[in-house]
Every structure is written in structure tokens, then in C-alpha cells.
Chains A and B, each alone.
Chain A
Amino acid sequence: MRARTEGKHFGEPLVWLAAVIWLWAGQTAWAQGPAASTEARGRTGSLGSLGLKAGAEIPPEKIQELYRKILSDWSAGQTDQAPDELIELETAVAVDTDSRTHKILLKEEQAVIHQVGAADIEALVPIAVLHHEAYRRLLERHVRGHALAMVHTRNMAKDLALLYSEQSGSEGAKLVASRLLTSLGGLLLQSAQQLPAAEMFQKGIELDGRNIAALLALSTVYEKNAQAETAVKLLRQALEIEPANAEARLRLALNLKRLDQDAEARKLLAGLMADKEPSWVTPLAYQELARLEGDRKKGAAEAEKVLRQGIERFPDDLRLRIQLAAALDRRGAPGEATALIEKALATSTPREAGASRYLYNAVRADEFALTRTFLDENSKSRLQVLAQALSAPPAETAGTGVAP
């Protein structure tokens, strides 16, 4: 899946600048990144390929020069190097102990973006993706002591995406922006920042109501915060777009169960069990239908039946066996219960079984994989545009990016 928006040049730089400032105003609420700790572990203050040191005095024009070089490296396909260079520059300039340093960084980067965006708005896409990648690497490396730089680069990615969408006005631009915000939300979720993540997903859905990854992710945030009704609404929206989506069906079933809508939940779970191609969701459908039945008066026999069917289909699933053993124990068949577990431990490979319950509660690596592939493709296809925009002569109206 790939979207390519029509190029649209800035006719009114002041509008563009105002938009940047307006978008930026929203970032203060986000200034509580995952790395607020000043712990020294994972610092990036060491000299990198740019030779910069954290907190070093770098003249404004040098910041612009280095930012241009990084964008140029990125546009030349140096995908390993450029994000690291960006991290080096931003962590060198924006230091946690002095909030003014952030403003300096912002001002100088804006100046470059302004010029590049004025040349071709499509160039904003790879720049946004570059910032996204830098943020992803900072999280992955568990960098501490650079909260300001982390929040800065994340907000750059977000604001560039929103700006691109707004200025372009095309449907394709909305798709790109929606995916970028969704991916950022995923990164935030991975670092347990549910509220900012939810805001990203919400915005992503506003830009593209068919963004399944954002719908599912946002429903999960609501689910984790015991807001089953909202989760149900979002999941129904997701299933209108993708009726066969197994994860959405399971989540809908479990949220309906929480709302005591057992009949529909039962139907959804039975449907998942009937799916011919099993996924990580399928054993959960057996487990949860058995729980649903077991919670019902006189439902023990039905629960047992469901579990036996599950074990027949997934003989190595230790968790289904544990669940059935517990049911048998309660029913007064402790011998069979023991035999069931002992057999599982002796003959199967239980070490790998059971991860599906973990997956249901985790932010999975595959959850945003399609979104990121989409972003990569859209960034790559615009690298040439970025290269050209960087070499274009500055527009007459282009200023330094400073707010008037």
C-alpha cells in the first residue's frame, strides 16, 4: 500500500510559518518523555560521526549546516547513518538542564524545513520519517538523560506530518500523516505512555477513519483503562472495514463480555473457533469461551466441551490443559485432571505454548509493521524530491523560521 500525494509548493510562506508555530504550541503537554531520568546509562553524549559533544556551544548557522547535511545524507539513502547523526546533533544542542537550548534547536531546524518545504512540500515526508526513525532508535537504545531531545524529535515527526497533511490537503497526505502518527503512538505505547499514545491514535483516525492499526491500538488503550464501551465502538468501526480481522473480533468479544453482552460475545468467540486458519488469537477464543460458559450457572459441562475441542486442535497448548484440569478438579475428577497435566508435561513442548495471552496484553512488534513499511515506502519515493529541495535556491520570502 503506497500513497503519493501531488506536490504542492508553498505559495504563502507566512501561512506555512504560522502553521509550524501553531502546531508546535501543542507540544508542551507532551514534554514528559519516557527518558525524563537523568541517569547516565545510555547517554549519547559521546562523539559521533559529526564530532559533537553534548552541551557544546554550536553557532546557529552551524546547526543549520549540520541539519542540512543530515537531510542530505538521508536523501542520499544513508539510512543507517542519518538518523544517528540527527540524534547526535539534537542531543548535543538540546540539553535537559537548559530549556532555552531546545528553542535554539527548533528555530534553526525550522529555518531549514521552511526553505525545503517551500521548494516542495513532498520533501516533508522523508524529513518526518527521519525524525520518527531517530525517535525509534532513542527508545530502542533506552537512552537516558536526553528527554528534551527525545520529545523534540518526536514532536518534529508529528508536527511535520500534520503540517504536510494540512498544507497538501490531499487524501494521500492524510494517509501518510495518519500512518506516521499511528506509528509514533505505537512507539509511545511501547514505552508505556498511554495517554500521549491515545492522542496520536485519535488524530490518526481523524485523518483516516479506515486506519485499522490506529483503531485497534486505540481500542486497546480504552480496554486497558476499563472503558469497554468506547473500545467496543472503535472495534465495531474496525470490523466494518475488515470484518475478518481476528484480533478485532476477539477484543470485541471480550469487551462485550465485560458489558454483560454475553450472547454476542459467545457468537464472536464461536466464530473465531470456526476459523480454518488459526492464529495466535484462536487458542484464546477457546479459553475465553470456556470461561464465559464456566461463569454461567450450569455451564461447566459446556466449558469442558469447549476445552476438550481446544485441546484436540492445539494438543501442545498447556494453558488449555491447565484450564480443563481446573474444571475437572472442581467437578470431582481429580485423577483425570492430574493425568491431563502430567501427560502434557511429559509429551508436549509446553515451553512455547501459552504466549497468546501475553500477546493480547502486549504491544506487539507486528502490530505496526505494515504501518512502518508504508511510511518507509513513502519516504523512499520522496528522497529525490528532498535532495532537489535541499539544493534549490532559498525562496525570497523564506526567513529564519523565527516567529514574528
Chain B
Amino acid sequence: MTGAAGLLLAGAALAQVAVRIQSPSPDQPVFGATQVDVGVSSGEKVERVEVFVNGKLMGTVQKPPYKFSLDVGDDNIRREFRAVAHTTSGIAGTDTIVTVPVQINDEMNLKLRALFASVATFGKSNLALNQEDFQVYDNGVPQQIVTFGRDELPLTAVLLLDTSESMQGERLEAVRRGTRAFLDGMKPSDEAMLALFSDRLLNFIPFTSDKKELDSAIATTQAAGGTAVNDFLYLSLKLLDARQGQRVVVLLSDGSDVHSVLPASDVLWKARAGQSLIYWIQLGGKHKSFTSAWRDFKGNDREFDELEKAVQESGGRILAINRIDELEGAFRNILQELRQQYALGYYPTTAKGDGKWHKVEVRLREGGGRVRTREGYADY
């Protein structure tokens, strides 16, 4: 009897916590970076709200607003979102919605393309737009936007820092300060990998949210050796392949590649085929022509140009820094820019997997805003 009474009480209490998943909408396809908004109404204090996707706990928020920035992956599948609100007395309320996969025909390439776009209106960043405000064109063909996110998207970053001999002393100190500024701006849902390189990998911390671990690796690494940008940029892009959501390589280097086994054309290919952004902080200003036992002047100039091209085509950009005291600001600017991007996902209807270049264009349906995103991708 006691057990039955208990069940009844629990049932009555449950009724006191009303939970509603406000976003995403049910019966809509959802992929990649996704914002989940949960509304909770309760007679007593809510201790925490949890969100599960297909049974897996994806996030916990302890106070309103109950907004979750999640990365649910790029697979075109049905997803069950369940929100559970717990009160201080242990009472829980739940809501569940189900999102559906995109209906596609057999010939369609299943690879979701993610575009990260910055929008500026009258020179100022504009983050007030909605999915309906955007139009995506792939080789001139309008596409259906299936995922949409803005602001506070979980970020996966590779901090690829040149710690070759020429970075000794003040320069390395400035790099440490700049990297700390970037780490300080990271949110708990963000992750970073650290790769300190010269002609070899001097230190490496795999993807983690532990800022202390990342910071300590930077503090203890000594600059030494030559420079192999291509090899380690390729490695970074490759490791980001396996990650989800907004992916970025922040490359800092004071010079050009000398010692890589991979040509810059491999990096360019990777940047075109992949979905990661590359930001290159060029310390020391413009490229100076040089020769080495590996390449002559022309060869080195060509490598430099291709590397710049890879950065631009990835949708990232180059920040040329002439003074080391500008470094910290450069790291902050990159993080700020990443925070102010829209994530637009679509399944290219024009995809054939033939390796050909697809020109991508993102337009605003109305208004005079300026959109910046990657120029295209290689269809692999």
C-alpha cells in the first residue's frame, strides 16, 4: 500500500514540473551544431535541466535560460531529444521530441556541407538573422538549409603554433600570452588541441577542454629547429576531420615552410575537401623570398602562395602581424569572429563525388548585409 501511495505522490509531484522543448521543432531534420531551448515551469526551485539525444546525456544547465549548444553529429538519422528538469526535492519533469532524417533520393551524396558565415551590416557584425534569411547556392543551384545555428556554437580548435628556433625569447612569450587569451575565451563546451611544432612536433596535447593542461604545455615548450608548416597543418586538418561542428585551425608562424615533406598543394587539397576553417597569424609581415636545400626561390614562393590560398579557400583568413604586441589581439579577434558566425548545413543536390570544385554562395534574402564564407569546396 505504501508503495502505491508513493507512486501516486510522485505522479502528483511530476505534474508540478512542466517541461517543453521549444527548439528544435519536432519532425524537422537536425544535424551538426544545434541549439536546444527548453522551457521549464515549476512550483519549486529547479536544480538542473538535462538534455539527452538518443539516450545520451548531451548537456546540463543549472539555471535559466535553459539553452544548450550541442553538436549532434552529421548523420542523416532520426533523433530523439529528451529534456529532464529536476527540482531540489528530487521531482522531475520531462519532454520528448523526435526529429526526422532528410528524405533524400538514392543518388544524393549523403555528406552534409557545413558553411560558417559572418554577416556584417553597415560594417557591424549582425547576429540577429534567422534560417529563413539565408539562401545557399551550390554551383548556382539553390539548396535546402537543413541545419542552422548561430552564436555560441561549440568550437573545436587546433592551436598550431610555430615554435621553431626563430621564435625564441620575446616572440615565444608573446605566443604564450596570445594563446592564453584564446584559451580564456573558450567556453566549457569548446575543445582545443595544441600542437607546438618546428620541423618536428615539439609538444602535443590532444583535444581537451582542460585549459590548464593546454596552458602548461605552452609554458614548458622550448623553441627549437626549423619550420614544417605544411606537414603539421595537414595533420591538424586531418585530425579535425573526425570532429563535429565548427572546426578551426589557428596557425601561428613567423615564416614560411622549409622542411615539410608534403607540398602546400596537399594542404590546399585538404582545405578544399574538408570543412575546417584555417586562420593564419603571420608574424613578421610579408613573405620574404628564400632558398633552401629543399626548394629554390621560385619553389618557396609558390609554396607560400598556395598556403595562403588554402587559408582563403577554407573560409578563414590571414592576419598579418608586424609587432609581437599585436599577437594577443589577433588571437582574441579570431575567437570573436568565430563566435559571431552562422552555421548553415545542407546536403548538396549537385554532389557527384568527382573531386570537382563547387562554387558556394551564401546570400541574404533581404537587406544589404555582407556575407563572408568559404568560396567553395572540392567534391570528394
Contact = CB atoms under 8 A, between A and B. Distances in A.
A361 B293 contact: yes
Interface string B172-187: 0000000000000000
A120 B199 CA distance: 50
A341 interface: yes
Contact of A357 (B199, B201, B206, B242): B199
Contact of B201 (A224, A291, A318): A318
B235 A341 contact: yes
A402 to B, nearest CB: 44
Interface stretch (A14-22, A100-108, A347-355): A347-355
B82 interface: no
Contacts of B261: 287, 291, 319, 322-323, 357
A334 B259 contact: no
Contacts of A47: none
Contact of A329 (B206, B270, B291, B297): B270
B258 interface: yes
A354 B262 contact: no
Interface string A318-357: 1100110110011010100110011001000011111101
Contact of A358 (B259, B270, B297): B259
Nearest to B226: A358
B200 interface: yes
Interface string B252-284: 000000111110001001100100000000000
Contact of B293 (A224, A329, A334, A341): A224
Given A355-B225, A358-B226, A361-B292, A338 B239 contact: yes
Given A341-B238, A362-B226, A322 B262 contact: yes
A228 to B, nearest CB: 9
Contacts of B238: 325, 329, 337-338, 341
B380 interface: yes
B200 A354 contact: yes
A85 interface: no
Contacts of A350: 200-201, 204
A90 interface: no
A362 B202 CA distance: 18
Range, interface on chain B: 20 to 34
A332 B111 CA distance: 14
B377 interface: no
Contacts of B297: 226
A360 B225 CA distance: 12
A355 B242 contact: no
A223 interface: yes
Interface in A279-312: 287, 291
A223 B273 CA distance: 35
Contacts of B234: 322, 325-326
A183 B340 CA distance: 58
B226 A361 contact: yes
A190 to B, nearest CB: 13
Interface string B366-380: 000000000000001
A201 to B, nearest CB: 15
B122 interface: no
B180 to A, nearest CB: 22
A220 interface: yes
A322 B235 contact: yes
Contact of A323 (B202, B206, B262): B262
Contact of B266 (A287, A326, A334, A362): A326
A49 interface: no
Nearest to B200: A354
Contacts of A28: none
Interface string B187-220: 0000000000011111110100000000000000
A225 interface: yes
A278 to B, nearest CB: 17
B361 interface: no
A341 B261 CA distance: 15
Give the most central of A287, A291, A337, A358: most B CB within 10 Å.
A358
Given A338-B239, A338-B241, A354-B200, A226 B293 contact: no
B325 interface: no
B291 A224 contact: yes
A351 B201 contact: yes
A357 B259 contact: yes
B203 A351 contact: yes
A342 B380 contact: no
B231 interface: yes
A361 B262 contact: no
A358 B293 contact: no
Contacts of B44: none
Interface in B290-308: 291-294, 296-297
A325 B267 CA distance: 12
A291 B265 CA distance: 13
A327 to B, nearest CB: 9
B228 A220 contact: no
Interface string A11-55: 000000000000000000000000000000000000000000000
B262 A330 contact: no
Contacts of A354: 199-201, 228, 231, 259
Contact of B262 (A226, A318, A326, A342): A326
B241 A334 contact: yes
B201 to A, nearest CB: 5
Contacts of A334: 241
Interface in A197-256: 220, 223-226
A360 B292 CA distance: 10
A323 B273 CA distance: 17
Nearest to A320: B261
Contact of A361 (B239, B241, B258): B258
Given A338-B239, A355-B199, A360 B293 contact: yes
B202 A358 contact: no
B293 A322 contact: no
A128 to B, nearest CB: 30
A232 to B, nearest CB: 14
A325 B204 CA distance: 18
A325 B266 CA distance: 11
**A-B complex: 9 closest residue pairs judged by Cβ atoms:** A226-B296, A354-B200, A358-B199, A357-B259, A361-B293, A358-B226, A350-B201, A326-B266, A287-B261
Given A224-B293, A326-B270, A342-B239, 7 more contacts: A220-B293, A318-B201, A337-B238, A341-B239, A354-B199, A357-B228, A357-B294
7 contacts: A319-B261, A329-B273, A330-B269, A338-B241, A342-B239, A351-B203, A357-B226
